[in-house]
A and B are shown apart, each in its own frame.
Chain A
């Protein structure tokens, strides 16, 4: 399909603004030399262009989206409605506290609920995404050690099964990364952990359930080992949907967490953001939290900086309108719903895993949490059909593929996370499709390399894209 620039006709436009009602100005400043080139289209053309683009995009409402580690649950309509209220959208972020008591209450309530769900004492809503929350939490850890004059704690321990953001965040926060192996079950190797900790340990970053979808039963010992060495424990909340209302990071021995509102708390992913990655911590770390803190003084809410704040992670207070959606979600499902959500997320995953396990090799042979990992290594060895081929074949069947090649420690991995918002019949239908594609892979393996066949494009040449990158449209005649 054409790019919007290729549909542009000089002179086409819609008038959105009135004529000037004050004198024109002729200010003396350096003006742009190159004329500004932007699309010139009528409104109907713009609408059709984006309607066509929407048709070439798969959203959660369009069908089953079992993308492991991404928690692609349904995004409730109510949340969108309340987040678009003018009483939120038309508020300037630098209005006086007295003018924005409602916004501050949204933040205060959300902070309190998230603290309760994670077992923390304080939460900052400023981080704009999960990775941003990780960076924030690690800066808290660093600030804490420094505040005690404990300058030698320079290392963060990360299991090899961790998401790539964990080590990347640790480096951004000025730490050195120590990778430790996982055992055959994907659990933290306790011997390796014990060998890794020491006076230079600043902390450990962990996801539990871990990135293979298993709850590490040694969690209390793990966090104790780190604490005894003088380090702090960081909980990556990527997989909180599996356990909320059932077990809390704060009770497992974690000192700092981040949660992903765009996963666990139902706010939409938006094709890659905006998300929100609040940071929570135990009371002893609260004085280091970033941004403005909301406090209640006799029923009036005020904002102010924490005493030893690490600073600001971004402008203003966070992705506020995303926070409104998460609050509406928590108020809707409530305390019973939080637990029921986790229970059904785990049930749906186990149900699917069970129904697939006679045909597919599961990477781990135990009860999973909210997601499970299959390995297609055998299929690859016997037929040459890879996890990628298999994933692409699923797109032809109306299913968004599971996460591929993650976690890195499982070969030919496909990670399936159905989420709690999928009804049983969707899971049953998906199981039939997975099985059918498996049969097809054995019957006509060579055809699998060509899939998908029904999508608007076939497989793209990614090597070409990276070798000589074309990252913008070049207007005809431009060099």
Chain B
């Protein structure tokens, strides 16, 4: 049995005696008798390491790992340099607690400070926090940040990932913020609709760039429209795309958020991921969660500490803006190592390659009979239409037989495809030929 208690039964007994107890029963005598469990828990008996390893390996073996993945929709398969997992598995980073004791936590603190800087550089914003749970909760927290006494409406573009919208709704259900969906027009946000919906009660408008369908939005203009109505502009962005596209800072966003999973984290059936959050100078003190700041020690030596803690729950209690304490520090470290390893050139290459592969796939699929839903600039995801859901299902199954995870079916024969630098031309050609066969039959 793999129990991690080092003291032998004899040692335990000696310690009990040293404390004046005859046995464990007496040690727990403060718990009323009637409450104590009088039966064994209905869970398996303990097992040796080898048995547990076999059992869990068997579970992993029941999952299908696709050789080719053409699905994204919020979780993306990118190349993870070997150095990333090597560094992140260092026990000091892995097993440390939140760095409250700065003198013995400079490593974690500095790595978060570097992460914050990298997020600022990517997004073009002034300040970033040490991360939140994921991209969706980051968007939901951003909506809360923008809430003012008389501005409680949150406008969300219909082109935002429905999973993110769902989380924004859940978070807002507590505080009673009203969520309004701004309609989509031809694969992007309907500008005129946004203009008409914004009003004195609008706290913010949340835009995703590139949006859920992969399309680039006219972020500048939507930001201008939002600001003209006195509301805050929140952009949820793909961090790989930020190597190429106009940053939230350059689009005058007040808050930038996003899912950090593409930055070196495995898909992992959905987690752990990390949400990044960055803000301009004015909004910095409204950021939720932990923030690392630079300071000096007694000798004037540069060092790092958790700062602006007066915003947080352990000081403010019911007056805190958010309840978050644990964030995703090790995932933030992963992203930081990934960004350092790739560097500006490598990240640009990952972005350009993903984009080129997706464009190649879209063109070839169109030739094979899958009509693109939109003809507008896009990053590494796009939607096709094949008229009916039945054909979409057939395509998905035919691809799966050849070990290819096809695009995500959106209903009514619409499919959301994704390609990244992980997909070779050969793989893409093979997928296209399978689709061609299905479309021709």
Contacts and interface: CB of A to CB of B under 8 A. Distances in A.
What bracket does the count of chain B residues touching chain A fall in? Answer: 35 or more
Interface stretch (A47-55, A188-196, A378-386, A433-441): A47-55
B31 A58 contact: no
B5 A61 contact: no
Given A24-B356, A321-B271, A422 B35 contact: no
A70 B29 CA distance: 24
B94 interface: yes
A33 interface: yes
A87 B247 CA distance: 36
B280 interface: no
B247 A270 contact: no
B331 A458 contact: no
Contact of B103 (A22, A51, A55, A459): A459
A15 B118 CA distance: 20
B394 interface: no
A23 B360 contact: yes
Given A167-B317, A350-B19, A27 B46 contact: no
Nearest to A30: B246
Interface stretch (B199-207, B338-346, B365-373): B338-346
Nearest to A351: B15
B387 interface: no
Contact of B99 (A14, A271, A334): A271
A30 B325 contact: no
A13 B271 contact: no
Nearest to B337: A50
B3 A341 contact: yes
B174 A135 contact: yes
Interface string B233-247: 000000000111111
Contact of B64 (A17, A24, A99, A173): A99
Interface string B203-216: 00000000000001
Contact of B348 (A36, A173, A252, A269): A36
Given A30-B220, A245-B41, A460 B305 contact: yes
B441 interface: no
Interface in A450-479: 450, 452, 455-462, 464-466, 469-473
A229 interface: no
Contacts of B330: 268, 270-274
A458 B104 CA distance: 10
B104 A400 contact: yes
B350 to A, nearest CB: 6
A405 B151 CA distance: 37
B258 to A, nearest CB: 12
Interface string A325-356: 00110111111111111011011101100110
A279 to B, nearest CB: 13
Interface string A154-168: 000000000111011
A89 B75 CA distance: 12
Interface in B143-161: 161
Interface in B315-355: 315-320, 322-331, 333, 337, 339-350, 352-353, 355
8 contacts: A22-B357, A30-B216, A102-B63, A174-B174, A313-B137, A315-B134, A315-B135, A341-B3
Given A334-B46, A336-B45, 10 more contacts: A55-B107, A85-B60, A87-B57, A87-B60, A117-B43, A367-B27, A420-B4, A459-B103, A461-B298, A465-B294
Q: Which 7 A-B pairs have the closest CB atoms?
A: A316-B270, A334-B46, A87-B60, A270-B330, A102-B62, A57-B107, A93-B270
